[in-house]
């Protein structure tokens, strides 16, 4: 009986040992799996850290691009504001009052004052007549030539070289 008990104990011990061996083997397998998972996690974290670094660099580049775009936008806004200020200033500029055209009374007074046999008086009379008849600006007779005056007398028109904006020259009838 004792032999049998010892045999049973041995069997139980062997069963326990085999169960313990199985548990140890399973623990080793689990630890290997955990180690593999740990390695995978480490690799994943390293990959995430690398990706995070790439994203940070990309973010910096985008910030620089945004700053450049904002600078350009501010420059465009500033130009627009300056342009509107210039327009408003131009709209509010001081303008000369409109003048009445010369009437016959004023014309006769001017001709009477420029009468005389001198060269200056004759030149003044001719200039007043040309200004009155053609309606050109007061500075435009200065550049007239004799040939242009002959054209005025013969054909009834004169070619005037422009002093202000507009075409290079124009005809006055």
Kindly list the distances between the CA atom of residue 142 and the CA atoms of 43, 72, 122, in Å, as whole numbers in the listed order.
92, 50, 15
- What's the predicted TM-score (pTM) here? 0.40
Please state, in angstroms and rounded to a whole number, the distance separating the CA atoms of residues 126 and 110: 11
Q: By the 8 A CB rule, do 135 and 172 touch?
A: yes
Average pLDDT, the chain: 80
pLDDT-flagged residues of the chain (< 70): 1-17, 20, 162-168, 170, 173
pLDDT at 63: 92
Domain range annotation of the chain: 104-172
Tokens of 93: 């500029």
């Amino acid at each position: 009986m004792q032999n049998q008990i010892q045999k049973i104990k041995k069997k139980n011990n062997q069963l326990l040992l085999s169960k313990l061996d199985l548990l140890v083997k399973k623990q080793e397998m689990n630890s290997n799996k955990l180690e593999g998972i740990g390695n995978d996690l480490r690799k994943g974290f390293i990959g995430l850290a690398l990706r995070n670094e790439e994203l940070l660099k990309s973010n910096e580049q985008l910030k620089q691009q945004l700053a450049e775009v904002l600078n350009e936008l501010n420059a465009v806004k500033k130009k627009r504001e300056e342009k509107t200020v210039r327009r408003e200033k131009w709209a509010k500029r001081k303008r000369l009052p409109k003048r009445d055209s010369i009437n016959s009374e004023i014309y006769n007074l001017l001709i009477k004052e420029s009468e005389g046999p001198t060269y200056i008086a004759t030149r003044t009379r001719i200039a007043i007549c040309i200004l009155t008849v053609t309606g050109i600006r007061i500075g435009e007779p200065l550049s007239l030539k004799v040939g242009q005056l002959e054209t005025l007398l013969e054909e009834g028109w004169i070619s005037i070289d422009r002093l202000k904006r507009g075409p290079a020259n124009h005809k006055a009838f």
